[in-house]
Homo-oligomer: A and B are copies of this chain.
């Protein structure tokens, strides 16, 4: 078997010990910090002494799909093409989910290691990510959401509920993420994969602030499973797809700028098209409200639209396609004409009538902006660093495979 592979121009040493990368969805660093303070996260607390506690920048937009794909390709969206959960497909002329593997423009580290003969497993919370993360992967891959449907032929495993020993979790639950971790521990015991990727969901983080009881309970659960993987001798790299911040006023009402309404009122209905790339099939817990939007606009109006949007309190940046794609390493053909970023406490919506906020049973917490870019980058072994250069969440496989001591 080969001792290393090259994926998207980066070298990855083949693992001599099982290597697990965990993406904790929506893991603002403060969640870990507060769980440690509450005394419920001894594994996380131990990493300062025995491992590496670093901070990395996630890719923009700070959403789930772009970042999961960056982590498994080791590359920014300009390389892998996934720049949102949702986009306006100029080829089809329609707004579509970016869940299909046909949108992926780069091979994954997972697929390449599996093709090189290594045992690879990928477990995600929601099924929406399975097709992208599993693209080209010859091994085990399944979602907790559809664990009951997994078959040997399709997923490389079957009878999952009995094997993992947990019931099928609800899609909006902490248990969906717990199933991912429990399945990871089961896989490590039974199959002992060379490379395993575990990706949770941020249902808890959208609902609960760092240090509050249910957040601490969730991180205690993660801590317990990570400690088990650690005890089984795995090299573990932990990062997040994005952070998470409150997006409300002092009494918990969401701060929303309805961009489509604003632009329709100013330039005429439908003149501009606002796209919210946070949109996916599961928006109940955040109402499709994040801090990042793209706008398509007639070229003749671009300057005026920019000025109009930038004038609103709560808007952090309005960047044209070229500037945004250069700065954030995004694929120019999938971003629209303008990228709008909101400030930490604000979100961007389309039109007021399009957002169903009835599912917001807790004050809105969300992500998408630069304020959610800094995420944990943790390893259970010390790492060699060759410089103090900026780290990215998508360096986690390189750190875990090439740099642990």
Contact = CB atoms under 8 A, between A and B. Distances in A.
Nearest to A390: B313
Contacts of A390: 313
A376 B53 contact: no
Contact of A53 (B212, B249, B388): B249
A86 interface: no
Interface string A362-374: 1100000001001
Interface stretch (A29-37, A227-235, A326-334): A29-37
Contacts of A30: 209, 246, 248
A132 to B, nearest CB: 27
B37 A313 contact: no
Contacts of A378: 250
B345 A252 contact: no
A53 B313 contact: no
Nearest to A28: B246
Nearest to A212: B211
A314 B34 CA distance: 21
A45 B363 CA distance: 13
Contacts of A248: 29-30, 33
Interface string A28-52: 0110111011000000110110000
Contacts of A212: 34, 37, 211-212
Using C-beta atoms within 8 Å of the partner chain, give the interface range for chain A: 35 or more
Contacts of A252: 33, 36-37
Contacts of A251: 32-33, 36, 44-45, 47-48, 53
B313 A246 contact: no
Contacts of A255: 55
Interface in A190-227: 209-212
A33 B246 contact: yes
A249 to B, nearest CB: 5
A244 to B, nearest CB: 12
Contacts of A211: 209-212
Contacts of A128: none
A345 B370 CA distance: 12
B29 A249 contact: yes
A344 interface: yes
Work out how many copies of this chain go into the complex.
Answer: 2
Nearest to A51: B251
Contacts of A11: none
Contacts of A55: 249-250, 255, 345
A345 B363 contact: no
Interface string A46-81: 011000011100000000000000000000000000
Contacts of A210: 209, 211, 246
A253 B48 contact: yes
A343 interface: yes
Nearest to A245: B30
Nearest to A47: B251
A163 to B, nearest CB: 32
A351 to B, nearest CB: 18
B33 A363 contact: yes
Interface in A321-344: 343-344
Q: Across chains A and B, which 10 residue pairs bring their CB atoms closest together, nearest first?
A: A250-B376, A32-B250, A29-B250, A211-B212, A209-B211, A33-B252, A30-B246, A48-B251, A53-B251, A53-B249
23 contacts: A29-B246, A29-B248, A29-B249, A29-B345, A30-B246, A32-B250, A32-B251, A33-B246, A33-B252, A33-B363, A37-B362, A45-B251, A53-B251, A54-B249, A55-B250, A55-B255, A209-B210, A209-B211, A249-B376, A250-B378, A313-B390, A343-B374, A344-B371
Interface of A: 29-30, 32-34, 36-37, 44-45, 47-48, 53-55, 209-212, 246, 248-253, 255, 313, 343-345, 362-363, 371, 374, 376, 378, 388, 390
